[in-house]
Amino acid sequence: MSSDVVIKVCGLAKAYPLYDRPHHRMLELLLGGRSGRWRREHRALHPMDFSVRAGECVGIVGSNGSGKSTLLQILCGTLSASAGSVNVSGRVAALLELGAGFNPEFTGLENVHLNAALLGLTREQIHARLDRILAFADIGDFIDQPVRTYSSGMFVRLAFAVAIHVDPDVLIVDEALSVGDEAFQRKCFSRIEDMRRRGCTILFVSHASQSVVQLCDRALWLEAGVLRMDGSPRDVVSAYHRATLSGTAEIGEANGEASALEDPGPLKIDEQAGKDLAFSPALIAYDRAGGELLAARLSTSSGQDAGVLQRGGRYCFGYTLKIDRDVPEVRAGMMVRNRAGIELAGATVDVGRLLGRAPQRGDAVRIDFDFECLMYPGTYFLSCGAMCDGPTGEYYLHRLVDAFEVTVLPELSAALRTASPQGAVDLRFDARVRLTTAADSP
């Protein structure tokens, strides 16, 4: 294994034996495992290969039951593989299911000592870091109470605080962080970013796709125990969403794998809409599942076609939605993403409410979104889609992700502003500077 590869997985697979009756297991044991007559197998993980280099942050996405937690448990060493090999270098700290590694009858403080010792810290090292652990967990006097009295949020606070203070080489986090409150989640992700910058290798499972896109260098998509895709977070998340939200299963069509250049067919010309936008090379088109997006157009507030956007100007992005079957209600929307795939802003509209009636088969509805361009100069992508509710949840009638690439130019009055904006959003900052003394009040 290369010196900069900290996780190496070769042919990893996991299968669980299943028995229809409890005594079937006993019969198999009595026969010395020589017969598989009463046993069948559930394949939790099919053979897979991948590696993770030192300092990488890898997100794992997939629906419930896809094998994500099983994979993490094998990497942590708390579960054995049925086949293949796993090599993990360095100290591993893991935050898996709630309460893992905690004794419910011990106090929080006692569990800190127990957990840290299990992760390889000496008594002296634990005492040196104890104040920082307790400060990060911030559960107050409950630290001296048995953890069986803790809420799920308090559990994860204490477990995460221990995991990040043992200086792990590899940090593995399951979806446990989702039970924390918003402020604690922000604090956790800030610490994960800091650990990532310091070279810690991070694997984490999350159903929050934007966290995967924003934090990770790579992403893995697992489905039914199969490693479906290993690639950039943006591409993997888009492919995963396309497969799970395309809705094609609802009308008996098969879901295909996502293609970055799949051609959804030419946009038909709408004589009233002006010049159609050309697809970007990054286009990811969902399968049609009862609708079709046509004749997309980007124009100025005066109705002229817009080739580029001027920061500070007002524009209109619109498209026609052709509906191929009766649906009770339809929501249509648009989204602006940057080149990293992070969603910056978007809007949705209840088509039936503004139309005055439920959409029907054969309807062609024009949807226009007026907006002010407040993005910084650079390259952005526009997505559009229409979705409705089905028997198994919401799904897309049709969706075009990163369909149209647009360029934003600096605003003409930018030189007149006293403060240069930074970050992801412009709050229209201005600034004042004056001489003062230390005794002056603000």
Instruction: Express each pLDDT in 32-43 by its tens digit.
Output: 655 566 677 888
Rounded distance between C-alpha atoms, residue 346 and residue 343, angstroms:
8
Strand ranges across the sheet with 5-19? 39-53, 5-19, 83-88
CA-to-CA distance for 235 and 257, rounded, in angstroms? 11
Which range, of 104-108, 171-175, 314-318, averages the lowest pLDDT?
171-175
Closest of 442, 434, 288, 312 to residue 371, by C-alpha: 312
Q: What is the pLDDT of residue 386?
A: 94
Q: Which of 115-119, 246-250, 268-272 has the highest mean pLDDT?
A: 115-119
- pLDDT reading at 385 higher than 90: yes
For residues 160 and 188, give the distance between their C-alpha atoms in angstroms, rounded to a whole number.
8
Whole-number pLDDT of residue 399: 92
Residue 406, H or E segment: strand 393-409
Q: Taking the CA of residue 440 as centre, how many other CA atoms within 13 Å lie in the half-sphere pointing to its CB?
A: 5
43 vs 65: CA distance, rounded Å: 11
Q: What is the pLDDT of residues 211-262, one digit of tens each?
A: 788 788 999 999 999 999 999 888 888 888 877 765 543 333 333 333 333 3
At 195, the pLDDT band (50, 70, 90 cuts) reads confident
Please state, as a whole number, how many other Cβ atoms lie within 10 Å of the Cβ of residue 207. 13
pLDDT, residue 417, reads: 64
What's the angle, vertex CA 34, arms to CA 33 and CA 39, rounded to 5?
A: 60
Q: Which amino acid is at 413?
A: S
Residue 214 makes CB contacts below 8 A (sequence gap 6+) with 340, 342
* pLDDT score of 252: 36
Residue 247 or 92, more confident? 92
Mean pLDDT is lowest, of 120-134, 255-269, 283-297, 409-423, for 255-269
How many alpha carbons fall within 13 Å on the CB side of residue 315? 20
What is the percent of the chain with per-residue pLDDT over 70, rounded to a whole number? 83
Q: Report residue 428 as tokens.
A: 């229209």
CA 15 to chain centroid, in Å, comes to: 27
Most trustworthy range by pLDDT among 23-32, 71-80, 182-191, 248-257? 71-80
- Pairing of β 291-300 and β 314-323: antiparallel
For the chain, give the mean pLDDT.
Answer: 81
Checking if the pLDDT of 146 tops 50, the result is yes
| Pick from 136-150, 185-199, 259-273, 385-399: least confident | 259-273
Phi, psi at 92, each rounded to 5°: -110, 125
> How many whole angstroms separate alpha carbon 210 and alpha carbon 344?
10
pLDDT for position 351: 92
Specify the CATH number of the domain 5-236.
3.40.50.300
Please choose, from the candidates 67, 102, 81, 90, the residue with its C-alpha nearest in 3D space to the C-alpha of residue 174.
67
Average pLDDT score over residue span 271-295: 80
- Residue 271: per-residue pLDDT: 39
% of the chain surpassing 90 pLDDT: 29
Q: Is the pTM of this model over 0.85?
A: no
CA dihedral of 83, 84, 86, 87, whole degrees rounded to 10? 140
Residues 6+ apart with CB under 8 A from 6: 52, 53, 54, 88, 89, 90, 169, 170, 201
- Where does 331-372 show beta strands of DSSP type E? 331-337, 343-350, 364-372
| pLDDT higher at 131 or 438 | 131
The architecture (CATH level 2) of 260-414 comes to Distorted Sandwich (2.70)
Which residues fall within 8 angstroms of residue 109, CB to CB, at 6 or more apart?
A: 134, 143, 144
Using the predicted structure, report yes or no on whether residue 389 has a pLDDT greater than 50: yes
Q: What pLDDT sits at residue 53?
A: 92
Band (317; pLDDT cuts 50, 70, 90): very high
Nearest one of 70, 60, 66, 20 to 40, comparing CA atoms: 20
Break the chain into its structural domains and give their ranges: 5-236, 260-414
* 140 SS3 class: helix
Q: Which of 37-46, 59-68, 293-302, 401-410 has the lowest mean pLDDT?
A: 37-46
For position 329, what pLDDT does the model report? 86
Length of the chain: 442
Question: Closest by alpha carbon to 276, among 408, 407, 404?
Answer: 404
Q: What is the mean pLDDT of residues 34-57?
A: 83
